[in-house]
């Protein structure tokens, strides 16, 4: 997968569950739940020791699931994620070392930004998709609208504080490819093994996204 293919997938999916796995044993039922709910994507964050093996398990057991690695802070984690089978990399900030390493490996990378300097750093490296993070804490839709205005070639993936209550508002912006959602498979739901609730959350996200179809991707 290259960056343009990732952007196409995100414009179609519109929502990316951002998942912190407490235990690798939860990976398989999580993948099955997301697929059955019609949301075949997950970003597995490197915030626990289960991340690498969780990505590997998802890729092995659920080949139709688009699996990315999140909270990637250094090159070593990029390599661990790719070795596990991650199809794209997401970072909370713009770390040139991480971004350049991914570009050298021809791996789609979505760096986090919340200001024009970060956007221009991405553009200088040929990136057209960035993660707007932390979205709500940084200024929410007001800041997103202001930042997007001069950068019509840039697509955003708002993450951080996005909920079912504001998801539709974010997805209504033409500059938004997709939103990252931690509420879909939250840590407490995973710890309790409440995959029925996760399925309900994923279905609700799909319903909201269906009402806010994405803009066509640039050719």
Using CB atoms within 10 Å of the CB of residue 104, give its burial: 0 to 12 exposed, 13 to 18 middle, 19+ buried.
exposed
The full set of domains in the chain, from first to last, is 3-210 (3.20.20.70)
Question: Which of 32, 36, 131, 192 is labelled catalytic?
Answer: 131
Is 80 exceeded by the pLDDT of residue 31?
yes
Q: Specify whether 131 is catalytic.
A: yes
Question: Which of 43, 120, 136, 192 is labelled catalytic?
Answer: 43
Q: Specify whether 120 is catalytic.
A: no
In percent, the amount of the chain with pLDDT more than 90 equals 96
What is the C-alpha separation between 164 and 162, in angstroms, rounded? Answer: 7
Q: pTM value?
A: 0.96
What is the C-alpha separation between 24 and 28, in angstroms, rounded? Answer: 8
Please report the pLDDT score of residue 213 as a whole number: 76
Please report the pLDDT score of residue 8 as a whole number: 96
The distance of Cα 131 from the centroid of its chain, to the nearest Å, equals 8
Among all chains, which residue has been given the structure tokens 């993070």? 133
Please report the pLDDT score of residue 218 as a whole number: 43
């Amino acid at each position: 997968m290259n960056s343009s293919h990732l952007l196409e997938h995100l414009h179609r999916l519109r929502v990316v569950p951002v998942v912190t796995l407490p235990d690798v044993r939860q990976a398989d039922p999580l993948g099955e739940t997301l697929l059955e709910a019609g949301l075949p994507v997950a970003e597995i964050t490197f915030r626990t020791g289960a991340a690498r093996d969780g990505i590997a398990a998802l890729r092995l057991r659920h080949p139709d699931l688009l699996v990315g690695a999140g909270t990637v802070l250094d090159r070593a984690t990029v390599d661990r994620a790719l070795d596990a089978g991650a199809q794209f990399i997401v970072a909370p900030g713009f770390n040139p070392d991480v971004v350049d390493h991914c570009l050298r490996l021809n791996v789609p990378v979505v760096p986090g930004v919340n200001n024009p300097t970060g956007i221009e750093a991405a553009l200088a490296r040929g990136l057209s998709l960035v993660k707007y993070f932390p979205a709500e804490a940084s200024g929410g839709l007001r800041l997103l609208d202001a930042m997007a205005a001069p950068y019509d070639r840039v697509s955003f993936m708002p993450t951080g504080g996005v909920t079912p209550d504001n998801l539709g508002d974010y997805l209504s912006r033409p500059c938004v490819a997709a939103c990252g959602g931690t509420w879909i498979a939250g840590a407490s739901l995973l710890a309790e093994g409440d995959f029925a609730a996760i399925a309900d959350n994923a279905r609700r996200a799909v319903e909201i996204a269906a009402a806010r179809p994405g803009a066509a991707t640039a050719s």
